[in-house]
């Protein structure tokens, strides 16, 4: 199976980003996690992105706060799909990261999840890999079924509390 690269701009992003790694673990998807910065280590970030396909990666997840533009910088250097996680923090509390991640100019897309949306980034990466992996698609289906079962349980509990 192709690997997922989970890249974050700083170790301060890790408490949120590890949620993506947990989800990848839960789905049995191999990944590597690295700290690489578009502005503090631009050459290493570009080098990683350029080599990613040859290194066996299928999707890149890039998390960064403020206007760091990490996902866009990676997308500029690879045609692998790049998923951006805008991180909360700084004077704008994530709005700056959201806009710098989602508002990519035409031709170099970044699939952007919610501010701090680490779990969804991993699920989206899984869905991309599952296009050509039936076993992974089945695991995603099972996870959806489990979510639905949990809601059904909660609905039953609510109705019981209401005495209906
Ligand atoms: C971004 O700046 C990082 O992704 C992080 O979200 C933010 C703050 O970084 P630190 O100053 O905590 O290293 O590049």
pLDDT digits 0-9 by tens, 33-52: 999 999 999 999 999 999 99
d(C-alpha 137, C-alpha 127), whole Å: 7
Does 87 sit in the ligand 1 pocket, CB within 6 Å?
yes
Task: Give the three-state DSSP class for 83.
Answer: strand
Find out whether 8 and 64 touch, Cβ atoms under 8 Å: yes
Q: How remote is the CA of residue 13 from the centroid of ligand 1, in Å?
A: 7
Residue 116 — pLDDT band, cuts 50, 70, 90? very high
Please give the CATH topology (third level) of the domain spanning 3-132.
Answer: Rossmann fold (3.40.50)
* pLDDT for residue 145: 98
Q: Which of 7, 9, 18 to mutate to test the pocket of ligand 1 (most atoms within 8 A of CB)?
A: 9
Instruction: Classify strands 111-112 and 3-8 as parallel, antiparallel or unpaired.
Output: unpaired
Confidence class of residue 83 from pLDDT cuts 50, 70 and 90? very high
Name the 3-class secondary structure at 9: coil
- Structure confidence at residue 127 as a pLDDT band (50, 70, 90): very high
The share of the chain scoring above pLDDT 90, in percent, equals: 99
Ligand 1, atom 13: nearest CA belongs to which residue? 10
Backbone angles phi, psi at 3, to 5 degrees: -90, 160
Distance, in Å, from the CA atom of 62 to the CA atom of 109, rounded to the nearest integer, reads 13
The domain ranges of the chain are 3-132, 133-164
State residue 90's pLDDT score.
94
- For all residues of the chain together, what is the average pLDDT? 98
């Amino acid at each position: 199976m192709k690997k997922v690269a989970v890249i974050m701009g700083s170790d301060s992003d890790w408490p949120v980003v590890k949620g993506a790694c947990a989800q990848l673990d839960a789905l049995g998807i191999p990944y590597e996690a690295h700290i690489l910065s578009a502005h503090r280590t631009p050459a290493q970030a570009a080098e990683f992105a350029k080599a990613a396909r040859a290194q066996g990666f299928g999707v890149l997840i890039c998390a960064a706060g403020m206007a760091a533009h990490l996902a866009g910088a990676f997308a500029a250097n690879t045609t692998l799909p790049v998923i951006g996680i805008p991180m909360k923090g700084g004077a704008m509390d994530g709005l700056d990261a959201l806009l710098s991640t989602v508002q990519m100019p035409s031709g170099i897309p970044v699939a952007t999840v919610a501010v701090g949306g680490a779990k969804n980034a991993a699920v989206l990466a899984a869905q991309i890999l599952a296009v050509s992996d039936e076993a992974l698609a089945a695991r995603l289906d099972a996870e959806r079924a489990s979510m639905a079962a949990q809601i059904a349980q909660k609905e039953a509990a609510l109705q019981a509390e209401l005495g209906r």
